């Protein structure tokens, strides 16, 4: 998914129910001050590509380039959502989300794991593939909830588009973070991944089956229909049939 190794280790792990409640409260407070935006202008996209470059260079996953920017052809396909997460107006993290279906089959993980994912697409299933998950190092050290607040966008996409599969294409050392939240199933050992120096494994989450459990343990993953619609339908026609009425809401 991305270069966030420093912030996906055990130091971010709530150890018991009391600390989990306290952690959730901290993430709620963080969410009150962040703004998630679909990157639609060239300036917004370039800022995200530079944030990616810094994160991947720090992690030793890519080689340097003169532009100090990191993007790939999957940033240009029609079913991509590139989000920037801003704290008091400053870009602090980003995630790229592809919403794939039989009608819109382009997404990064399909290129690497075709024999596992192509049958699901051909069967008419919706797949949400979050990648290029990066954070600003200094901000994430101060706010341990930032990776959770950013990954919340992937859960929102899975819910909004009725996805059968929410993927986690991640390095082995990042698997524990996703297991902590989503309890995914590992379906492939690491393989070479385009444009990255380190191999990537594949996990999948049947999101409808675990959604209630995620909300119980991490209630800040809840969202309103209006919030999801603003993020995934603002500025464009909906790519896929999302939910037509709200059935999950944020607590007051």
Instruction: Write down the pLDDT at residue 236.
Output: 52
Strands 165-170 and 127-135: parallel
List the alpha helices (DSSP H) in 73-185: 108-112, 114-122, 137-142, 146-160, 175-182
Provide the 10 A C-beta neighbour count for residue 13. Answer: 14
Provide the 10 A C-beta neighbour count for residue 251. Answer: 8
Contact (Cβ atoms closer than 8 angstroms) between residue 168 and residue 129 = no
What is the Cα–Cα distance from 42 to 33, expressed in whole angstroms?
24
What is the Cα–Cα distance from 248 to 228, expressed in whole angstroms?
11
- Residues 6 or more apart from 50 whose CB is under 8 A from it? 68, 69
What is the Cα–Cα distance from 79 to 60, expressed in whole angstroms?
29
Which segments in the chain show pLDDT lower than 70? 1-21, 234-252
What is the Cα–Cα distance from 57 to 133, expressed in whole angstroms?
14
Instruction: Write down the pLDDT at residue 244.
Output: 41
Query: Residue 63 to residues 86, 137, 146: CA-CA distances in angstroms?
Result: 27, 19, 26
In the block, residue with structure tokens 């420093």: 6
189 φ, ψ (degrees, to nearest 5): -70, 170
Tell me the domains of the chain and their CATH numbers. Answer: 5-233 (3.40.630.30)
Instruction: Write down the pLDDT at residue 70.
Output: 97
Instruction: Write down the pLDDT at residue 20.
Output: 57
Provide the 10 A C-beta neighbour count for residue 243. Answer: 14
Provide the 10 A C-beta neighbour count for residue 176. Answer: 13
Strands (E), the chain: 34-38, 80-87, 90-100, 127-135, 165-170, 185-191, 200-205
Q: Which residues pair with 135 in a beta bridge?
A: 93
Instruction: Write down the pLDDT at residue 187.
Output: 97
What is the Cα–Cα distance from 237 to 211, expressed in whole angstroms?
26
Strands 90-100 and 127-135: antiparallel
List the alpha helices (DSSP H) in 73-218: 108-112, 114-122, 137-142, 146-160, 175-182, 207-217
What pTM was estimated for this model as a whole? 0.86
């Amino acid at each position: 998914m991305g270069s966030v190794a420093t912030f996906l280790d055990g130091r971010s792990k709530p150890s018991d129910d009391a600390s989990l409640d306290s952690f959730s409260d901290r993430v709620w407070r963080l969410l009150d001050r962040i703004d998630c935006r679909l990157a639609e202008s060239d300036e917004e996209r370039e800022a995200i590509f530079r944030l990616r470059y810094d994160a991947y260079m720090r992690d030793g996953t890519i080689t340097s380039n003169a532009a100090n920017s990191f993007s790939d052809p999957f940033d240009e396909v029609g079913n991509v959502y590139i989000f920037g997460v801003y704290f008091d107006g400053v870009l602090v993290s980003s995630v790229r989300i592809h919403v794939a279906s039989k009608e819109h089959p382009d997404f990064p993980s399909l290129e690497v794991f075709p024999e596992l994912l192509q049958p699901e697409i051909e069967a008419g299933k919706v797949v949400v593939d979050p990648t290029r998950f990066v954070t600003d190092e200094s901000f994430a050290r101060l706010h341990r909830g930032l990776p959770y607040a950013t990954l919340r966008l992937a859960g929102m996409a899975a819910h909004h588009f009725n996805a059968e599969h929410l993927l986690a294409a991640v390095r082995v050392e990042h698997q524990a973070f996703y297991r902590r939240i989503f309890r995914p199933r590992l379906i492939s050992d690491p393989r070479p991944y385009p444009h990255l120096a380190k191999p990537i494994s594949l996990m999948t989450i049947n999101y409808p089956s675990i959604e209630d459990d995620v909300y119980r343990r991490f209630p800040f993953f809840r969202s309103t229909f209006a919030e999801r619609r603003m993020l995934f339908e603002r500025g464009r026609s909906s790519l896929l049939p999302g939910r037509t009425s709200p059935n999950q809401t944020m607590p007051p």
